[in-house]
Amino acid sequence: MATAPSTLRARRARRQRILLILAALLLVGGAAYWYLYLRKPKARIEPQPPGTIAVPVAAKQLAKGIELAGAGLIRPMYLRPELVPPAALLKTSQVQGRVTREPLRAGDYFSEENLAPTGAPPGFSGLARPGKRIVVIESTAIVGALGYIRDGDHVDVLAIAQQGTRGAARPGQSNTTIAGGGVQPGAAGAVAGGQTAGGASVGAIPAVSATLVAEGARVILVPKPGKTQFTVLEMEPQDAHVTTLAMASNQLLRFVYRPFNDESRVPRDLPRLATETRPPRDSRLVEVLNGTSRSIERTTLD
Q: How far is CA 81 from the centre of its chain?
A: 29
d(CA 186, CA 163): 18
* CB within 8 Å of 109: residues ≥ 6 apart: 55, 56, 57, 77, 85, 87, 88, 89
> Which of 44-58, 82-96, 155-169, 219-233 has the lowest average pLDDT?
155-169
pLDDT tens figures, 72-127: 899 999 999 999 999 999 999 999 999 998 889 999 999 998 998 888 888 888 88
pLDDT tens figures, 158-211: 998 876 544 444 444 444 333 444 433 443 444 444 444 444 445 556 677 888
Q: Residue 152: which region, alpha, beta or left (left: phi > 0; alpha: psi -120 to 50)?
A: left
CB 208 within 8 A of CB 143: no
d(CA 87, CA 112): 8
pLDDT computed for residue 38 by the predictor: 64
Longest Cα–Cα distance of the chain, Å, equals 152
pLDDT tens figures, 59-76: 999 988 889 988 889 999
Nearest partner of 220 among 105, 100, 106, judged by Cα: 100
* CB within 8 Å of 46: residues ≥ 6 apart: 76, 78
CATH of 53-123, one of 3.20.20.70, 1.10.10.10, 1.10.3720.10, 3.90.1210.10: 3.90.1210.10
> Which of 136-140, 196-200, 275-279 has the lowest average pLDDT?
196-200
pLDDT computed for residue 55 by the predictor: 94
DSSP state at residue 42: P
Where does CATH 3.90.1210.10 sit in the chain? 53-123
d(CA 165, CA 154): 33
CB 155 within 8 A of CB 258: yes
